[in-house]
Each structure stands twice: as C-alpha cells, then as structure tokens.
C-alpha cells in the first residue's frame, strides 16, 4: 500500500534549528546598548519562536503600537543578522533524520514565519538548502502562519496534496496553521513553546527529532484504520 504521507512541512526555529541562543544574545547586546540589564535565556528562549518584535515587547515592556518598538526591531534584526550562526545549530539528529526521510522518497519543505534572508543564510551555512523542495518564509507570503494559506501554498509549490501532507513544528502557531489547513500536525517537545506541548492539541508528540519517522508511521496507521 502506498504511504499516506509523502510530504513533510517543517517549521524552522525550535524545530529544525536551535536559534534562540543567537537571538537572545543579540537582544542582550541591544539591552546593553540601551543601558538595560540582560535578560535570561532560560526565560526568553520560549519567546524566541515568535520573532524579534515579540521579544522586544517583553524585554522593554512595550505595547504593540509603541512607535519605539519599530526602531528597536530594526536595531535588533541588524545585530542578529551579524551573528546568525555563532551559536545556532541544528537540533540533535536533524541532519541524519532528514536524509533518512529523503532517501525514503518523502518530500521535505520548510514553512516558517522567519524572514527569507536569515533562513537562507543559516541553511547555506550548514549546507542544508538543497535538502528541501520548497522553503517558504514569512516575508514571502501574504498570509503567514497561523493562516492556512502559508501551508497550502507551500504544498502547491511542492506539487503535492494536502491529504498527503503533515506539518511538523513546536508551537501553537504550527498547530493552529495545520488545523486551519486540515493537516495532521506533529509537535516536537524540545522546541520553544511557552505552553506545555501536551496542551497544544497536536495529533502526535515526539521528544526528539530522531523519533519523527516513527511518528509519521503512527499517523499513517491511524489514518488507514479510520478509512476501513
């Protein structure tokens, strides 16, 4: 029987890559520049998946409509882009697992709210860009996650079908996007979710990336059983 799933959409920050150390380090550089105390990575790590603006709102205690937030966001992004890969690295077993899935004939795509420039630079640094059939970033789409269209447009680029696709991520944004697109979703527990992964409403949880093939098999088995 042909496998039910042939396409895997992957989140970036907190799923494939541990990018929080560089982002929080950049934030602390900016905090020092503004004569503010450093933030703790243990706390801000779980905000990093929501982007620079979200981090700054909490670090500087600003509201979304504060004009100062725009200026700070530009400064933080500039500092971050200067140190994208100093501490950032793939999570354990990511490379090996992606190669295994690709060798099995599965199509791999990245669906991230992270901007194109930083996403591509990190992938090129680790020689991983060619592993993915599609890389669709937040600044390349009209509607980004949690909107369904971000996922569905990525699937179309990959010449695949929603009914054969699964989303793999680490936060509520990934779950909400997958559910809006009517896709199953696997959540990795090592990510950046401030909410306990077991409360996110995913179809399946895995503790580490190496468990992804097994997770896909579990989803397929559930699907075949439900169709009988």
User: Same domain, yes or no, for 75 and 96?
Assistant: no
81, 113, 130 — which closes off a domain?
Answer: 81
**Residue 30 domain boundaries:** 20-81
Give residue 118's Cα distance to chain centre. Answer: 13
Give residue 110's Cα distance to chain centre. Answer: 8
In terms of Cα–Cα distance, which of 116, 59, 60, 52 is closest to 79?
A: 52
219: left (phi over 0), alpha (psi -120 to 50) or beta: alpha
What SS3 class is residue 136?
strand
pLDDT value of position 2: 47
63, 81, 99 — which closes off a domain?
Answer: 81
Q: Which residues of 211-225 are buried (b: 16+ CB within 10 A; e: fewer)?
A: bbeebbeebbeeeee
Could you report the per-residue pLDDT of 89-145, keeping only the tens digit for each?
999 999 999 999 999 999 999 999 999 999 999 999 999 999 999 999 999 999 999
CATH of the domain at 157: 3.40.50.1000
* Average pLDDT of the residues of the chain: 93
Distance of alpha carbon 196 from alpha carbon 86, whole angstroms: 28
Instruction: Please check whether residue 1 lies inside any domain of the structure.
Output: no
Tokens linked to 92 = 């354990």
User: Same domain, yes or no, for 40 and 144?
Assistant: no
pLDDT value of position 62: 86
User: Same domain, yes or no, for 123 and 216?
Assistant: yes
Tokens linked to 73 = 């966001």
Distance of alpha carbon 166 from alpha carbon 125, whole angstroms: 27
Distance of alpha carbon 134 from alpha carbon 129, whole angstroms: 9
């Amino acid at each position: 029987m042909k496998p039910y799933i042939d396409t895997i959409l992957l989140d970036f920050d907190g799923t494939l890559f541990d990018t929080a150390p560089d982002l929080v380090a950049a934030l602390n550089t900016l905090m020092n520049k503004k004569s503010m105390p450093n933030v703790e990575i243990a706390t801000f790590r779980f905000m990093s998946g929501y982007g620079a603006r979200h981090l700054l709102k909490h670090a500087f205690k600003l509201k979304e409509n504060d004009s100062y937030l725009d200026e700070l966001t530009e400064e933080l992004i500039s500092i971050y882009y200067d140190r994208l890969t100093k501490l950032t690295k793939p999570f354990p077993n990511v490379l090996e697992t992606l190669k295994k899935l690709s060798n099995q004939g599965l199509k791999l795509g990245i669906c991230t709210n992270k901007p194109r420039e930083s996403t591509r630079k990190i992938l090129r640094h680790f020689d991983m860009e060619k592993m993915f059939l599609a890389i669709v970033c937040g600044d390349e789409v009209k509607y980004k996650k949690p909107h369904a269209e971000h996922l569905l447009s990525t699937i179309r680029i990959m010449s695949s079908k929603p009914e054969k696709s699964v989303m793999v991520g680490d936060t509520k944004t990934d779950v909400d996007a997958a559910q809006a697109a009517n896709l199953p979703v696997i959540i990795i527990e090592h990510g950046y979710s401030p909410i306990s992964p077991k409360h996110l409403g995913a179809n399946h949880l895995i503790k580490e990336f190496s468990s992804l093939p097994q997770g896909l098999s579990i989803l397929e088995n559930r699907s075949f059983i439900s169709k009988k």
